[in-house]
Amino acid sequence: MSDRDLVVLGVGMHPWGKWGRDFTEYGMVAARAALKDAGIEWKDVEYVAGADTIRNGYPGFIAGSTFAQKLGWTGASISSNYAACASGAHSLQAARASILAGFCDVAMVIGADTTPKGFFAPVGGERKTDPDWLRFHLLGATNPVYFAMFARRRMDLYGATSEDFAQVKVKNSRHGLSNPYARFRKENAIEDVLNSPIVSDPLRLLDICATSDGAAAMIVTSRAFAEKKLGSLKGVPRIRAVSTVTPTYPQTILELPDFATDSTAVVAPPARGFKESLCWAAYEEAGMSPSDMNMAEVYDLSTALELDWYEHLGLCAPGEAEGLLRSGATTIGGRVPVNPSGGLSCFGEAIPAQAIAQVCELTWQLRGQAQGRQVEGAKAGITANQGLFGNGSSVIVSV
């Protein structure tokens, strides 16, 4: 085990759903579950890295202190992070930096959210210089508009079909069936997806992930602390890499919430696009390769985006994701199951909790505790996640 690895001592989640309650209620359930799973007391936690929610007032912007106070002030150090959908992984990175710098041994990473119904809309007020406000005002460019453009490119360039996209939903709906934390636990057939209404062509309602309430937390520690507590670290999941790199100029893919890409007029595009670079930075840090991965939890904001991730992760070459899906390789029982948790398809997105939830799932899988969805013999897995404004993450966990 590398000195730069962190030990995942405990994980916990509140089930995903849609209740509209105070987000801290959900967070407290996840926090208590993670502490119990780790076998430590709240008072043992020296650092709390909170992932922020921007739709829940001041407490949401200072998630680290919100949860530290809710659990009872102990003098623990805190940080609060907002990085759109990657907020949870950026919080993990903050905790990791603190532990690896030797400032603390035991950290809690936590994120919770309550979400409004319907499309994500920009924060209120008239802001004619805010691209996120303007994309709605001038174009009506909702998040599904961007997801749909990636889907359409797969169709026009690679011959993907609506049935391929629907098959991703069918697979994930089966994976999540017995996951006690998933919000949607209903098996979907191809026809269910194809009969659901088109939202942003070619994507249908069941191709697009919902927005959810939910919470996830984890306790990560230094190797020294975990060895002292557990004796042996054999079979204990550890964080091998956390990648939170930003795009490299010129960013040539039209990403949320941009009106335009960067220009390639005077600087050639980088060898790897943003999403590939997120994944490859993680592989390089861990000293591992795609073939070392036994599973992946990816950000399936839409069914078609899951297929894009197969390629960004290097599970197959560009244009081959539909073939990989059809081969069954990404289904539980296949070579590299993708979204064994059921993914966003079964959860819906609870922004600050989601990237943490991905790591929770890998942890349960690596411990052999993923009842009803177990990837047998899994030794390593990777997460991939992307949000607005050049935020994204990829985390590798292994035993």
List residues near another protein by CB under 8 A.
118-119, 121-122, 126, 128, 131, 133-142, 144-145, 148-150, 152-153, 156-157, 197-203, 249-250, 252, 254, 258-267
Q: Which is nearer to another protein, 62 or 245 (CB)?
A: 245
Q: Which is nearer to another protein, 256 or 344 (CB)?
A: 256
365 is written with which tokens? 């899988």
From the number of C-beta atoms within 10 Å of its C-beta (0-12, 13-18, 19+), residue 72 rates as exposed
Q: Which is nearer to another protein, 103 or 249 (CB)?
A: 249
CA-wise closest residue to 88 among 377, 310, 361, 399 = 361
Give bridge partners of residue 216 from the DSSP assignment. Answer: 13, 111
Min dist. Cβ of residue 196 to another protein (A): 11
Min dist. Cβ of residue 141 to another protein (A): 6
Q: Which is nearer to another protein, 258 or 361 (CB)?
A: 258
CB 367 within 8 A of CB 384: no
Residue 347: other Cβ atoms inside 10 A? 31
Q: Which is nearer to another protein, 151 or 313 (CB)?
A: 151
Please tell me the distance from the alpha carbon of residue 383 to that of residue 278, in angstroms, as a whole number. Answer: 10
The three-class DSSP label of residue 215 is strand
Q: Which is nearer to another protein, 136 or 389 (CB)?
A: 136
Min dist. Cβ of residue 66 to another protein (A): 28
Min dist. Cβ of residue 190 to another protein (A): 20
Min dist. Cβ of residue 280 to another protein (A): 20
CA-wise closest residue to 33 among 7, 71, 59, 60 = 71
CA-wise closest residue to 281 among 269, 268, 294, 272 = 272
Burial string for 252-270 (b: 16+ CB within 10 Å, else e) reads bbebbbbeeeeeeeeeeee
Give bridge partners of residue 258 from the DSSP assignment. Answer: none
Please tell me the distance from the alpha carbon of residue 35 to that of residue 51, in angstroms, as a whole number. Answer: 17
Min dist. Cβ of residue 209 to another protein (A): 16
Min dist. Cβ of residue 308 to another protein (A): 12
From the number of C-beta atoms within 10 Å of its C-beta (0-12, 13-18, 19+), residue 245 rates as middle
Q: Which is nearer to another protein, 46 or 207 (CB)?
A: 207
Min dist. Cβ of residue 171 to another protein (A): 24
Q: Which is nearer to another protein, 224 or 267 (CB)?
A: 267
